[in-house]
Amino acid sequence: MNIDFTPDELAFRAEVREFLRDHLPDRLREGARRTPGVFVEPDIGLEWQRILNDRGWAAPNWPTDCGGTGWSPVQRYIFDKECALAGAPALAVLGLKLVGPVICHFGTPEQKDRFLPRIRSGEDYWCQGYSEPGSGSDLASLRCAARREGDHYIVNGAKIWTTHAHFANWIFALVRTDPTVRKQAGITFLLIPMNQPGVDVTPIMTMAGDHEVNQVYFDNARSPVANRIGEEGQGWTIAKFLLENERGGSCHAPRLLRAIAGLESQARALSTGYNGTLWDDAMIRDSIVRARLDAEALEVTELRILADLAKGRAPGPQTSLVKWLGSEIHQQIDRIALDIHGYDGWQLPAERPLYGNGGPVPLGSVEAQLAAARMLNGKAWTVFGGSTEVQKNIIARTVLGL
């Protein structure tokens, strides 16, 4: 595998770097830096998305006929990496990287015309209705039901761990439309407007004090049949497509490596109080170096997946390995940050957001203020998007043949 960039790819990287230098405002970098959770607040994320959309770069993983950039997998990786290294806010993946590609692939022309421009611009903000109370890892056991009445579906049930449902005006949901068939066969993919009677959002506060996730209740909520993606009973197939599209060509390593470089800078600057800086502490230095080596190895795996995608191959079970290792390294970084900042790292302000004029004054440093919140929030890394246990089972079955 040749992982050197071509002259054209190097020229593209230079173009991306110039764009980021000229168009990424410092306030968005600082807001992203001071966000302890996985998802940035919409005031940051949507402003950056609109800047990218004006350039035609908001949806690089979409086909060109749907408004995508036409970039190769390597160009998409370069773009993601440069955004990560520049400290750009992470975009809301639920519209751009999840439901958007689904509509591109399975949607009707009318659905594409209606939804895709508003996803790119951020006018529509999406959440995902998959997990339910009692239906997490075994997603096929979901019970949220949609009964067809004429030109509408009537939806009843609940979804849980619904990220940013309190901001969203649309939810894409898996619903059960036929309880009499095999459980995977009776599921349908439905787009449901959130701003209507019969949809109730209840916040779930995390241990870190963040409001990212919610429980969503449907009580005779309505959605036109025109909002169904694909056919009735095709939801399980569409859900698998969404998951494969989400994980293929992922870009964990650059953000991890940037965070590790930050840890090293902090360790070199913080005094032990008795013998040099924390970087002189062999245990601290060893933990940071080990994390860096793990992240660099992960980056090689991500580049191997890119090489497969560039040749038209499916990404395969390596994506489960990336999800597993990326989640573990995230949590590894969070533990090191607490070790570095000591007592100052255990402050846990209740205010959100931590940026802007209303943000609380940190004790010690901004990095110390973020440490405990990131560690607590980051416990979810090994759960969401497919738990570590699920990823290990996939690897055992598909790679090891167990």
123 is catalytic: no
SS (H, E, C) the chain: CCCCCCHHHHHHHHHHHHHHHHHCCHHHHHHHHCCCCCCCCHHHHHHHHHHHHHHCCCCCCCCHHHCCCCCCHHHHHHHHHHHHHHCCCCCCHHHHHHHHHHHHHHCCHHHHHHHHHHHHHCCCCEEEECCECCECCCHHHCCCEEEEECCEEEEEEEEECCCCCCCCCEEEEEEECCCCCCHHHHEEEEEEECCCCCEEEEEECCCCCCCCEEEEEEEEEEEEHHHEECCCCCHHHHHHHHHHHHHCCCCCHHHHHHHHHHHHHHHHHCECCCCCEHHHCHHHHHHHHHHHHHHHHHHHHHHHHHHHHHCCCCCCCHHHHHHHHHHHHHHHHHHHHHHHHHHHHHCCCCCCCCCCCCCCCCCCCHHHHHHHHHHHHHHHHHCCCCCHHHHHHHHHHHCCCC
The catalytic position among 41, 132, 212, 246 is: 246
Beta-ladder partners of 127:
171
CB contact set of 327 (below 8 Å; sequence gap of 6+): 381, 382, 388
State the Cα–Cα distance between residues 250 and 327, nearest whole angstrom. Answer: 12
Assess contact for 133 and 141: CB atoms under 8 A: no
Q: Which residues are catalytic, by number?
A: 246
